[in-house]
C-alpha cells in the first residue's frame, strides 16, 4: 500500500481543528493552506484520470495490434498455401511452413485463430488451398484430412513452443509431434476415401514429404523466434 505523505493527508483528510492548532489559529494561513489543498486535490484527480485514460488507450492499442497481427498472418497463410508441387495424391504445400511461423510469431492462440480463419475462407470458396482451389469439395476429397489436421498441428505444436520457446529441442519435438498428428488425421482420411490400407496411404501421403517438412520445421525454429523478437521490439506485436 502506498504511504501517504502530509500532502495526501491534507487532500484526503482535512481537519480544521487540527490545522488551527498547527497554524496557531491564524485564519489567513489556514485560508492559504485550504487553497493549496484544493489545488493539489484537483491535480491529484486530474492525474488519476490521465492514468486511467492512458491505460484504456494502451488496452485498445493492444487489442488492435492483436487483431491486425491475426489478419496479416491469415493473409500470409492464404498467399503461401496455394503454392505447391503436385507430388502424388497429396501436393507439397507451403501452408505448413506458414503455420510453423505463425506458431512462433503469434503464439498458439492467435495462430489457431488465423488457421481457423484461413480454413473458413477456403471453405467459403476462396482459392486459398493447394493449387489455388477452394470450396467444400476440398474437405470432402482425399486431401481433406490434411486440411482438418492443420488445427491440431497448430494446437499441439503451439502449446509446446509456447511452453519451451527458449529451448530449441523441446520446441522442435513439439512441432514434430504436432505434424505427426496432422499426418495421422490426413492418412486416415486418405486411406478411407481412396480405399487404401493405412500403410499404403502412409507411403503415398506422408513419406514423400518427410524431408521437406523437416526442413520447414528447422527453418521455422531457427528464424521464428528472431522474427518475433524483431516485431516485438518494433511494437508490432
Q: What is the pLDDT of residues 48-81, one digit of tens each?
A: 666 665 555 566 668 888 899 999 999 999 999 9
CATH class of 59-233: mainly alpha
> Is-contact 162 106, C-beta < 8 A?
no
Task: Tell me the average pLDDT across 147-170.
Answer: 91
Task: Tell me the average pLDDT across 166-185.
Answer: 91
Is it the case that residue 192 has pLDDT exceeding 70? yes
Task: Tell me the average pLDDT across 169-198.
Answer: 93
* Position 133 confidence tier, pLDDT thresholds 50, 70, 90: very high
Q: Give the span between the Cα atoms of 167 and 205, in whole angstroms.
A: 31
For the chain, percent of residues with pLDDT exceeding 70: 72
Comparison of pLDDT for 17 and 114, the residue scoring more: 114
Taking alpha carbons only, the member of 233, 196, 227, 184 closest to residue 72 is 227
> Mean pLDDT in the chain?
82
Task: Tell me the average pLDDT across 140-163.
Answer: 94
Domain layout of the chain by residue ranges: 6-50, 59-233
Task: Tell me the average pLDDT across 180-189.
Answer: 95
The C-alpha angle 84, 90, 96, rounded to 5 degrees, equals 55
Per-residue pLDDT tens over the stretch 21-33 = 544 545 555 556 6
pTM for the whole structure: 0.73
Looking at residue 7, its pLDDT comes to 43
Is 92 in a helix, a strand, or coil? strand
Q: Would you call 164 exposed, middle or buried from its count of C-beta atoms within 10 A (0-12, 13-18, 19+)?
A: middle
The pair phi, psi for residue 133, each rounded to 5°, is -105, 170
Amino acid at each position: 500500500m502506498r504511504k501517504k505523505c502530509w500532502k495526501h493527508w491534507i487532500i484526503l483528510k482535512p481537519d480544521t481543528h487540527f490545522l488551527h492548532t498547527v497554524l496557531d489559529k491564524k485564519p489567513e494561513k489556514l485560508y492559504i493552506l485550504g487553497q493549496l489543498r484544493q489545488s493539489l486535490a484537483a491535480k491529484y484527480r486530474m492525474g488519476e484520470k490521465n492514468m486511467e485514460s492512458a491505460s484504456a488507450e494502451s488496452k485498445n492499442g493492444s487489442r488492435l495490434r492483436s487483431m491486425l497481427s491475426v489478419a496479416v498472418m491469415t493473409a500470409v497463410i492464404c498467399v503461401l498455401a496455394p503454392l505447391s508441387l503436385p507430388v502424388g495424391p497429396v501436393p507439397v504445400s507451403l501452408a505448413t511452413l506458414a503455420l510453423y511461423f505463425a506458431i512462433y510469431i503469434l503464439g498458439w492462440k492467435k495462430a489457431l485463430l488465423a488457421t481457423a480463419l484461413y480454413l473458413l475462407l477456403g471453405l467459403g470458396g476462396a482459392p486459398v488451398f493447394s493449387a489455388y482451389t477452394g470450396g467444400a469439395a476440398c474437405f470432402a476429397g482425399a486431401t481433406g484430412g490434411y486440411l482438418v489436421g492443420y488445427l491440431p498441428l497448430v494446437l499441439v505444436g503451439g502449446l509446446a513452443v509456447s511452453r519451451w520457446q527458449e529451448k530449441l529441442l523441446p520446441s522442435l519435438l513439439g512441432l514434430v509431434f504436432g505434424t505427426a498428428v496432422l499426418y495421422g488425421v490426413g492418412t486416415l482420411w486418405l486411406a478411407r476415401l481412396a480405399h487404401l490400407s493405412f500403410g499404403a496411404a502412409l507411403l503415398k501421403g506422408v513419406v514423400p514429404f518427410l524431408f521437406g517438412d523437416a526442413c520447414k520445421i528447422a527453418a521455422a525454429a531457427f528464424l521464428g523466434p528472431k522474427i518475433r523478437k524483431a516485431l516485438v521490439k518494433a511494437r508490432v506485436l
